[in-house]
Every structure is written in structure tokens, then in C-alpha cells.
Structure 1
Amino acid sequence: MEEKKAAHKSGFIAVVGRPNVGKSTLINSLIGQKIAIMSDKPQTTRNRILCILTEPDAQVVFLDTPGIHKPIDKLGEYMVKAAEGTLKEVDAIFFVVDATEKMGAGERYIIERLRATKKPVILVVNKLDLIEKSAVLPILDSYMKQYPFHGAVPISAKEEVNLDALLGEVKQYLPEGPAYYPEDMVTDQPERLIVAELVREKVLHATRDEVPHVIAVETEEMTERSNGTMYIRMIIYVERESQKRIVIGNKGVLLKEISTLARKDIEALLGTKVYLDLWVKVKKDWRNQPGTLHNLGFH
């Protein structure tokens, strides 16, 4: 008798957690391509980035949400609203926590938000590579006492440990259905936004602690030239002249370094040579201006 073929599944997964627990690293590792930007600075992810993993038996669409935290400005309010709004639209949720840090107020704040959802929540304990094996069970136990998770999987997103087990776990909660997106599509974000995010990532890595929150990057022009190269002009916004000087660096050295590193990533993404033209401009208090936030892609 012929064995019945398993039904194809498809669904949406929200990836939530405090800032810096490795949500973007996890999604990039699952997708196998750099889409979500990574940094050790808070508030790295600002937009809700949709990333798509297509396998023979399922299509899993991940929503990399901004870190849930108590907002201090309009940008912060937007980010939390985007993250919490996502929880209502998905089939399941990954709650990512950092194995190297004790559960604190930030985790409890998110758990309270999860109580309002009826969706299956899987606890993802990340950074397994940084702790002793004997520490894993006590961490899982401490979280299980706080919330009735549908599953719990310890992983290392960076080292790609246990990711197959995590996918196997979440596929149980996906509904049967066709693929929503073409097989070769890995994100719904326009290229203009992704390249701007890649530049912002390099600025975050290169600048001091006082600058990252006030950085925004806008793609002003993206044109293919007759010789096949892509010309991209971008504006890096800061809020004060002193921050502008930091980003540019002595004799423009830092901006040149940012440009070189970003260009490599953008060329890998677009598969073509890129001429990157970066400018730094002061836009006072942009994080509290709805019009500016809208222009930068925060809707």
C-alpha cells in the first residue's frame, strides 16, 4: 500500500525577546542568508522584518520583531507597538532568551505580554555555546515555572546548534497550506531598505555608545549604471553636529571604513559591483517626528 505523503505546511512565526538575545542571528542562521542586521547595541532591529524559509515540506515565515522594552520616545513606542502587534497575526511564537543572563524584569515584561496571546509559544534558550551543559536544565526549569510553553529548545544561533530540532518543534504548530511566497524569495523587504539596514549595522559597529540610538539611514538613490554597476546614495541621519563628527571620523576615516564594509555586504546581497555614496546629515530630534519616522519606513 502506498504511503500517504505528509501534507505541506506553511505559517508565520513571531520571534520575540529582549534586545540583544540573538533574534536576528537566529533568523539569519535559519534562512542561511544575512537579512536581519546584527549588533551588540540595543534597538538594532527597528522594522518588522519578514524572512522566509522554504523547505520541501513547509514554508516558514519569520517576523523578526523589534525587541520588546519600555519605550522612551516615539521611535521606541513604534517599535514596541510593531512587536506586540505581530503577536496577534502569527501561528506560533519563538520567545528567545539569553542563556548567559538570569531572568530579569525584561523577560517578565515579555511573559506578561505573551499571556494575552492564545498562540503556541516555544522557549528558545540561545547562546548554548557560552554555558556549561549542566546549566541548561535549571534555565529551562526557571522559565517553565513562569509560563506554560508548548516546547523548549536550547540552541546556539551563532554556531547553528540544534536549529533542526527547533524547526521540527515549530512545524508541529503550523497549519496545512501552500507556500505563500516564491521558493527563491527570502524577504519581503525592498532592496532599498535592506541596503540601508546593512549600512546602519556598520555604523552601529563602528561608533561609540552615544551614537547608535540616534542613527537612521535612508536610501536616496539606487540606480543601475550602463556598465552594470549599481550606484547607491545614502544619507546617515544623526541628531547633533558632535555625532556627525563621530560618524565621519578624523579626516573621514571612519565613514570610509563604514562604506567599505557595507559595500561588501551589499555586493554580496545584490550580486553586482556597487558604488556607495554615503553622506551624514544632522536632523534634530528625528526620533520624535512622525513625518520623519514615516519617511524612514516606520509606519
Structure 2
Amino acid sequence: MTDDYRAGFACFVGRPNAGKSTLTNAIIGSKIAITSNRPQTTRHVVRGILHRPDSQLILVDTPGYHKPKNVLGKRLNEEVRETWSEVDVIGLCIPANEKIGPGDRYITREITAQKAKVVAVVTKIDLVSKTDVAKQLMAVNDMADFADIVPCSAVSGEQVDVLVDVLSKYLPTSPQLYPDDMITDEPERVMIAELVREAALEGVRDELPHSIAVVIEDVEIEDLEDGPRTKIYAEIYVERSSQKAIVIGKAGSRLRTVGTHARKEIAKLLNQRVYLDLHVRVAKDWQTNPKYLQRLGF
């Protein structure tokens, strides 16, 4: 380790669906945050650890900062504010394919008042022309005096390495903070629950995504003749009986699809065979009920 080795924390913040989780996964090189085309998919602060010869970048993905409509939304925003107040570098994610709006300007005012360096990250540049990227970069430049502005695409990989270089240079000089073999400090059960929720989010109606939560009730390791298998018992929570019917599907068809997709991703995560037992429960209006929020981990 060199004398100028750097280690520290950076977080991505921005409006819902700004590409924060996809970018986090692209930088870490592993799926540590679930992704979806649904806004506000991320509900937990997720830390990914990137090891380089001269630095260790601990990257924190946060829920989308938004105008809250319920207790859950308020708690998620509080989590985001707490995160950006504690990191060394803040990456403000602004999609290249969307006009800058009041939400972007509000977040900019909030984070530029923090002690951390602020880097503007123009995401999703693969979705627009180079001319449009240039226009967005100029518009972002007019918003504030950012330490740097970096355009990139998590999907194509363009400029992702440049972004890592920029974030790393603002980290403090420090010995490494996590062991070499660690890519996240996210508890395994939380990651499993998130993979189930990601599978449940696919193909559901617009009103359902925010109503879905997942709790892992139990995890057991079976020693079978042909090797170990992890048995996972998970509960998918929704807010109404009508939503339960949608998640289960006709004769249980949709729930089987959710189970198949989730099981494949969990098996990759654990590097082991998985048996997944799913049940759907109704917790009426859980997003506004403090008791249910605590039960569901918020």
C-alpha cells in the first residue's frame, strides 16, 4: 500500500430512476443493488466496495430523493439526507434523457451546502445523441459550481472508469477500510429479500410497486447427498387483497414466475442450490403504519 493510498465513502443521490443503482452495480462489477424501470425501487442504503491498487472506494447507493406521500417516503428521505451528510464525495445523478427539473435543483441546493465534494454525474448517455449530451452537460454546469462533471453510461460502460477515477481522487488519504475480499457489507438476508422484491416488481401494474415489501422469515442449510442446499422462506407483503391476487396470478402462475426468477439470482449470490418458499400476505396500508414499517425493516 502506497503512502498516498486513498479510502473513503462516496454516495450517489438523485431523483427516483436516475440510474443510481445500475451505476453502482456497474462500478462494483457485481449485482449488489436491485434495479428496475420502476421509480423508487431502492429502499435501503446499499454499500459496495471497489478495491484498486491505490484506493478503496466505498460506494453508497441511496433511495431516490422525492416529495414524500407517506411515512415510508419520509423515512427514505431521512436516510438519504443522513447518508450525504456523512460521506466524502457526493455524486449527483442526472439522466441525460430528461430535462433538469425542480427536484434536481432542490437536491443540488441541499448537497452543495454539505462539506463533501460534489460531482455531477450525467447518466444514461447511451440513450441520447452526443449533441443532447453536450446540451445536458451545459445545463448541469449552470446549476452549481461542481467539483467535476462526468457523463457516463452504466449500460454501455462508457466513461465509468473515468467516473471512478474522479470520485477516488477526492477521497482522503487513508489505509483501506474493508478486507480485500469484501464487495459489500449488506447483510445476506437483506440482499435475498431485495432479489425477491426485484423479481416481484417485474410486470406488475403501476400502482403495485410501492406496495410490495419482502421479509425473509427463515434460512436453513440442508446437507443432501448431492451437496448442500439453502432453504429460504420468504413473505411478500402487499397492502390490499386485490394486490395479493395480482401478485399470485391465476392459479398461482405469477408467483411461480417470481419464484423462478428470484431463485436463479439468489443461487448466483450464494453460489449454492436454493429452495425458495414464497407466501403473499396483506398488511393493510403498511407504508403509513409505523408498526408495520418496523416489522418490514424501515
2:294 is equivalent to residue 297 of structure 1: no
Partner secondary structure for residue 226 of structure 1? strand
Q: Do the aligned partners of 1:16 and 1:96 also contact (CA within 8 Å) in 2?
A: yes
Q: Do the aligned partners of 1:49 and 1:63 also contact (CA within 8 Å) in 2?
A: yes
2:182 is equivalent to residue 185 of structure 1: yes
Count the aligned residue pairs: 295
Q: Do the aligned partners of 1:206 and 1:254 also contact (CA within 8 Å) in 2?
A: no
Normalised to the residue count of structure 1, the TM-score between the two structures is: 0.96
1:100-150 per-residue CA deviation (whole Å, 9 max, x = no partner) reads: 011012211211212321211111111111111122222111111111100
Q: Do the aligned partners of 1:47 and 1:297 also contact (CA within 8 Å) in 2?
A: no
Q: Do the aligned partners of 1:230 and 1:273 also contact (CA within 8 Å) in 2?
A: yes
- 1:249 positional shift: 0.4
| Structure 1: gaps spanning 5 or more residues | none
Q: Do the aligned partners of 1:128 and 1:156 also contact (CA within 8 Å) in 2?
A: yes
Matched residue, 1:236: 236
Partner secondary structure for residue 44 of structure 2? coil
Pick from 37, 42, 46: which aligns with 1:40? 37
2:174 is equivalent to residue 172 of structure 1: no
2:225 is equivalent to residue 199 of structure 1: no
Aligned-partner Cα distance in 2 for 1:174–1:253: 49
RMSD of Structure 2 on Structure 1 (CA): 1.2
Q: Do the aligned partners of 2:263 and 2:276 also contact (CA within 8 Å) in 1?
A: yes
Aligned-partner Cα distance in 2 for 1:291–1:63: 27
Aligned-partner Cα distance in 2 for 1:106–1:158: 24
- Which one is further off, 157-166 or 235-244? 157-166
2:163 is equivalent to residue 163 of structure 1: no
2:265 is equivalent to residue 268 of structure 1: no
- 1:296 positional shift: 2.2
- 1:6 positional shift: 5.5
Aligned-partner Cα distance in 2 for 1:168–1:58: 10
Matches within 5 A, 1:1-299: 5=2, 7-227=4-224, 228-298=228-298
| Structure 2: gaps spanning 5 or more residues | none
- 1:252 positional shift: 0.5
Identity %: 46
Partner secondary structure for residue 198 of structure 2? helix
Q: After the TM superposition, which parts of structure 1 deviate over 6 Å for at least 4 consecutive aligned residues?
A: none
- 1:287 positional shift: 1.0
Q: Could you tell me which amino acid in structure 1 is paired with residue 250 of structure 2?
A: N
- 1:196 positional shift: 0.4
1:28-87 per-residue CA deviation (whole Å, 9 max, x = no partner) reads: 001111110101112100111111111111111111111101111010001100001111
